């Protein structure tokens, strides 16, 4: 995939943004309100969904891989890579599919993405533990994803609105 | 550089379909995973060696296993929620006195027979260990 | 060439991740000290820690078991009443600790109870009620002050017993083993682990997901049921209860926790005692620590009963918390543990807190 310099720069900025959002997320522990392991706001999905619409699936994928790898590197945790990749890729695949539909808004796409993200992470947990115990959490996590998905959809919507009059939207 | 696509920024009716799909998936998972047993496994050891492993969640009805070792015979009742020793020919009956075990990490031990039944797996919202 | 170097660099970077902490879980389940034991550890040192633990428990059993003829305890029991018996510094240290626990509880915990425990058949396969004359004779030998440990500082430790005495370390062997397990986990750099040595629990750090370890306290009257769940991290916990080992004869139940003063199963109004203490701060391997203390005190408090146990706790001589379950249907939790104890709804018990100042 050939990227123009402008596209490459934008990818880099979005990757950094996603990393920053992942980091900031730790200071807003959703686990205090919802006592489930691995529950989080999933703010990095804002970047994924934005990139999906703005740059297309190909570059969104690149950003996702870069952000997961660097995130795991910074955390010094190989296991984190497995979880974020499974979660992120599932989210992206589902959102790429849903975004093709003219009947869905950003909210529908984001909620679908959040749900898929949780499914991916549970799958990673099952692989790590070697049993199906993590599945017990999935129903509750899916319920939470309705809210976190709506939240990230709202936040992404703000981002789109903010950039409406910029060169991103112009030819 | 134009955006590949422009998303609709206000919620649309069809979004409800996505929400419904997620809810249905959650319900399906509840039925599949919460209802159908707690995933407990019973491990039987004789003389320190594992002789068999039984997936308790697959048991619709309790089964009674007869275990003999070192001159003693026990009858162990295995059911979807756990296990218990119903009777034993050992002199002390500690194993029978232990009663039901229902949590991962718990075990029933018959010392004279050197037979033990240990539970593992099961719902994570239980306990991680049980004090002796 | 540049692409190749870039690819190599990426690979190297990626490989460096594998050297970093992974939540590798390693666990083992084994049979030792006449009970089932399991250890689960997380991290890069987990695998070696778990296998070392198994070897260590086997070593301790060989050293301390009263029923193994080649153990140091057997050597003490067969010879120390006649002449000093040489023992390892480790055994001497453990005996010293046992002595101080006996002393501080005024003999409620007493390792010289051994002959009486044997008379009840708890060390053999045949439980029985000893005759009163037999018990009276054996009770004469029950006196922890008769145990003399010398020579630890000169590295040639010796143990002497009074005539007719014998010691049984079964009441603290698992607790001591848990102290040794903690040391092994430290040496291997393991930060998260859980060990259950026949019901003696040691938890290190928190679970991989960051939450505290949940440890269930059994309901003595309802098999499979709990009175509550403790949320612990970096802690030892040990429970002693009559329900753990008993036999019935002529309609009466006799359990295995003998009161050294009477020679009979303790009837103190308690059905179980759980002692909780922090993980050891000093990490000298092979020395008795809080694990040993919890084991000894769980027996002692059970014998002492509710009032004396509360008084002992309040004295602050030792730093621990406890959960007492009484015969009259109450569960008492010391105030330092109350916020870590989750009551079990529907257990039918009345829950109370024991506070520092008596009400």
Residue C99's domain is classified under what CATH number? 1.10.3980.10
For residues A42 and A146, the model is more confident at A146
Give residue C252's pLDDT: 93
Give residue C22's pLDDT: 46
Q: What is the mean pLDDT of chain C?
A: 90
Name which of C29, C207, C224 is nearest B99 (Cβ-Cβ).
C224
What ipTM goes with this model? 0.83
Question: Chain B residues with CB inside 8 Å of A103's CB?
Answer: 12-14
How many domains does chain C contain in total? 1
DSSP state of C258: B
Give residue A170's pLDDT: 44
Give residue A95's pLDDT: 93
Does B128 score more than 70 pLDDT?
Answer: yes
B10 within a domain of the structure (yes/no): no
Distance from CA of B115 to the nearest CA of A (A): 26
Q: Percent of chain C at pLDDT above 70?
A: 93
Concatenating the DSSP letter of every residue in B89-107 gives -SSS-HHHHH--B-STT-E
Mean pLDDT value across residues C249-259: 93
Give residue B123's pLDDT: 57
C106 within a domain of the structure (yes/no): yes
d(CA B44, CA C80) in angstroms, rounded, equals 41
Does residue C21 sit at the A interface (CB-CB below 8 Å)?
A: yes
Question: Chain B residues with CB inside 8 Å of C214's CB?
Answer: 126-129
Mean pLDDT value across residues A143-155: 92
Interface test with A, best of C6, C7, C23 (most A CBs within 10 A): C23
C90 within a domain of the structure (yes/no): yes
Residue of A nearest to C209 (CA): A37
Question: Chain A residues with CB inside 8 Å of C209's CB?
Answer: 37-38
Q: Check: CB of residue A124 under 8 Å from CB of residue A133.
A: no
Mean pLDDT value across residues C17-44: 76
- pTM for the model stands at 0.68
Question: Chain A residues with CB inside 8 Å of C17's CB?
Answer: 72-73, 76-78, 81
**Considering the domain A5-162 in this protein, what is its CATH number?**
1.10.1760.20
Question: Chain C residues with CB inside 8 Å of B93's CB?
Answer: 247
Boundaries of domain holding B105: 39-121
Spell out the SS3 assignment of chain C. Answer: CHHHHHHHHHHHHHHHHHHCCCCCEEEEEEEECCEEEEEEEECCCHHHHHHHHHHHHHHHHHHHCCCCCCCHHHHHHHHCCCCCEECCHHHHHHHHHHHHHHHHCCCCCCHHHHHHHHHCCCCCCCCCCCCHHHHHHHHCCCCHHHCEEECCCCCCCEEECCCCCCCCCHHHHHHHHHHHHHHHHHHCCCCEEEEEECCEEEEECCCCCCCCEEEEEECCCCCCCEEEEEEECCEEEEEEEHHHCEEEECCEEEECCECCCCCCECCCCEEEEEEEEECCCCCCCCCCCHHHHHHHHHHHHHHHHHHHHHHHHHHCCCCCEEEEEECCCEEEEECCCHHHEEECCCCCCEEEEECCCCC
DSSP state of C339: G
CA distances from B33 to B15, B24, C312, C326 (A): 27, 14, 48, 38
Tokens standing for residue A154: 């709202």
Cβ atoms within 10 Å, residue C329: 12
For residues B22 and C9, the model is more confident at B22
Tokens standing for residue A144: 């939470």
CB contact under 8 A, C215 and B128: yes
Question: Chain C residues with CB inside 8 Å of B112's CB?
Answer: 125
Give residue C21's pLDDT: 41
Mean pLDDT value across residues A151-164: 89
Does residue B15 sit at the A interface (CB-CB below 8 Å)?
A: yes
**Token pair 């999906």: residue:** A52
Give residue C16's pLDDT: 53
Does C17 score more than 60 pLDDT?
Answer: no
CA distances from C333 to A47, B63, C269, C310 (A): 50, 39, 16, 10
Concatenating the DSSP letter of every residue in A76-122 gives T-HHHHHHHHHHHHHHHHHHHHHHT-TT--HHHHHHHHHHHHHHHHH
The H or E element containing residue B23 is helix B15-29
Does C99 score more than 80 pLDDT?
Answer: yes
Q: Which residues contact B73 (CB under 8 A, 6 or more apart)?
A: B66, B67, B88, B89, B113
C37 within a domain of the structure (yes/no): no
φ/ψ of A25, rounded to 5, equals: -50, -35
Does residue C9 sit at the A interface (CB-CB below 8 Å)?
A: no
d(CA B111, CA B95) in angstroms, rounded, equals 8
Name which of C265, A169, C235 is nearest B1 in CA terms.
Answer: A169
Mean pLDDT value across residues C139-162: 91
Mean pLDDT value across residues C17-35: 70
Mean pLDDT value across residues C153-180: 92
Distance from CA of B113 to the nearest CA of C (A): 10
Give residue C19's pLDDT: 43
Q: Check: CB of residue A104 under 8 Å from CB of residue A95.
A: no
Could you read off the pLDDT of C340-357 as tens digits, one per residue?
999 988 888 999 999 987
Please count the residue pairs, one from chain A and one from chain C, whose beta carbons lie less than 8 angstroms apart: 28
- From chain A residues 78-97, the ones with a CB under 8 A of any chain C CB are 78-79, 81
Could you read off the pLDDT of B15-30 as tens digits, one per residue?
999 999 999 999 988 8
Tokens standing for residue C32: 């030792």
C9 within a domain of the structure (yes/no): no
For residues C5 and A151, the model is more confident at A151
How many domains does chain B contain in total? 1
CB contact under 8 A, A111 and B34: no
CB contact under 8 A, B107 and C34: no
Question: Chain A residues with CB inside 8 Å of C25's CB?
Answer: 129
CB contact under 8 A, C31 and B111: no
Give residue C94's pLDDT: 95
Mean pLDDT value across residues B103-117: 84
Does residue C20 sit at the A interface (CB-CB below 8 Å)?
A: yes
Give residue A82's pLDDT: 83
A28-37, A55-64, B65-74: range with lowest mean pLDDT: A28-37
Structural domain spans, chain A: 5-162
Could you read off the pLDDT of C170-223 as tens digits, one per residue?
889 999 999 999 999 999 999 999 999 988 999 999 988 788 999 999 999 988
CB contact under 8 A, C18 and A78: yes
For residues B132 and C61, the model is more confident at C61
Distance from CA of C285 to the nearest CA of B (A): 24
Does residue C23 sit at the A interface (CB-CB below 8 Å)?
A: yes
Give residue A148's pLDDT: 92
Name which of A38, A78, A129 is nearest C20 (Cβ-Cβ).
A78
Q: What is the mean pLDDT of chain B?
A: 83
Give residue B11's pLDDT: 87
Does B36 score more than 50 pLDDT?
Answer: no
Tokens standing for residue C203: 């938890």
DSSP state of C144: G
Boundaries of domain holding C87: 67-168
Coil/strand/helix, residue B74 = strand
CATH number, position B111? 2.60.320.10
CB contact under 8 A, C217 and B99: no
Mean pLDDT value across residues C281-295: 87
CB contact under 8 A, C238 and B102: no
CB contact under 8 A, B2 and A170: yes
d(CA A40, CA A137) in angstroms, rounded, equals 13
């Amino acid at each position: 995939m050939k990227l123009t310099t402008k596209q490459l720069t934008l990818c880099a900025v979005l990757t950094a943004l996603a990393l920053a959002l992942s980091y900031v997320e730790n200071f807003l522990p959703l686990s205090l309100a919802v006592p489930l392991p691995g529950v989080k706001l999933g703010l990095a999905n804002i970047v994924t969904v934005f990139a999906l619409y703005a740059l297309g699936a190909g570059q969104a994928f690149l950003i996702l891989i870069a952000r997961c790898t660097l995130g795991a590197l910074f955390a010094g945790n190989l296991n984190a890579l497995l979880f974020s990749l499974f979660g992120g890729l599932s989210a992206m695949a589902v959102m790429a599919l849903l975004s093709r539909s003219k009947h869905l808004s950003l909210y529908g796409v984001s909620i679908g993405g959040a749900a898929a993200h949780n499914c991916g992470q549970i799958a990673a947990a099952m692989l790590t533990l070697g049993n199906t115990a993590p599945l017990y959490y999935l129903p509750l996590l899916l319920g939470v994803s309705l809210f976190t998905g709506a939240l990230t959809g709202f936040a992404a919507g703000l981002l789109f609105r903010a950039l409406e009059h910029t060169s991103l939207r112009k030819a | 550089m134009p955006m590949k696509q422009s998303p609709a920024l206000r919620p649309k009716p069809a979004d409800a379909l996505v929400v419904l799909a997620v809810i249905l998936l959650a319900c399906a998972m509840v039925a599949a995973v919460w209802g159908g047993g707690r995933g407990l496994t019973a491990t039987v050891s004789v003389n320190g060696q594992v002789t068999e492993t039984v997936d308790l969640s697959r048991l619709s009805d309790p089964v009674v296993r007869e275990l003999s070792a070192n001159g003693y015979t026990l009858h162990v009742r295995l059911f979807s929620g756990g296990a218990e020793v119903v009777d034993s020919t050992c002199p002390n009956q500690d194993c029978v006195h232990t009663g039901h075990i229902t949590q991962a990490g718990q075990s029933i031990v018959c010392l004279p027979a050197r037979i033990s039944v240990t539970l593992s797996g099961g719902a994570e919202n239980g306990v991680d260990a049980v004090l002796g | 060439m540049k692409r190749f170097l870039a690819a190599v660099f990426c690979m190297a970077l990626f490989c460096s991740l594998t050297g970093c902490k992974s939540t590798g879980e390693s666990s083992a389940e084994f049979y030792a000290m006449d009970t089932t034991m399991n250890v689960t550890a997380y991290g890069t040192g987990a695998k070696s820690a778990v296998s070392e633990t198994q070897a260590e428990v086997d070593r301790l059993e060989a050293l301390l078991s009263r029923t193994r003829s080649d153990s140091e305890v057997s050597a003490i029991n067969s010879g120390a009443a006649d002449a000093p018996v040489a023992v390892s510094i480790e055994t001497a240290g453990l005996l010293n600790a046992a002595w101080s626990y006996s002393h501080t509880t005024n003999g409620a915990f007493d390792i010289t109870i051994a002959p009486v425990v044997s008379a009840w058949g708890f060390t053999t396969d045949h439980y029985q009620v000893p005759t009163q004359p037999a018990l009276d004779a054996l009770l004469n030998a029950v006196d922890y002050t008769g145990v003399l440990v010398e020579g630890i500082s000169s590295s040639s430790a010796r143990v002497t017993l009074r005539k007719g005495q014998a010691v049984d370390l079964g009441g603290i062997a698992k607790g001591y083993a848990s102290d040794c397990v903690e040391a092994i986990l430290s040496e291997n750099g393991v930060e998260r682990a859980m060990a259950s040595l026949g019901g003696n629990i040691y938890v290190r750090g928190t679970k991989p997901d960051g939450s505290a370890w949940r440890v269930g306290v059994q309901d003595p009257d309802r098999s499979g049921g709990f009175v509550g769940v403790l949320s612990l991290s970096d802690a030892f916990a040990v429970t002693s209860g009559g329900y753990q080992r008993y036999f019935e004869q002529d309609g009466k139940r006799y359990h295995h926790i003998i009161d050294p003063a009477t020679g009979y199963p303790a009837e103190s109004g308690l059905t179980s005692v759980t002692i909780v203490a922090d993980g050891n701060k000093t990490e000298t391997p092979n020395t008795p620590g809080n694990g040993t203390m919890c084991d000894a005190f769980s027996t002692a408090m059970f014998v002492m009963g509710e009032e004396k146990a509360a008084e002992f706790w309040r004295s602050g001589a030792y730093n621990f918390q406890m959960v007492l379950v009484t015969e009259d249907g109450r569960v008492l939790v010391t105030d330092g543990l109350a916020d870590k104890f989750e009551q079990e709804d529907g257990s039918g018990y009345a829950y109370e807190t024991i506070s520092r100042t008596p009400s």
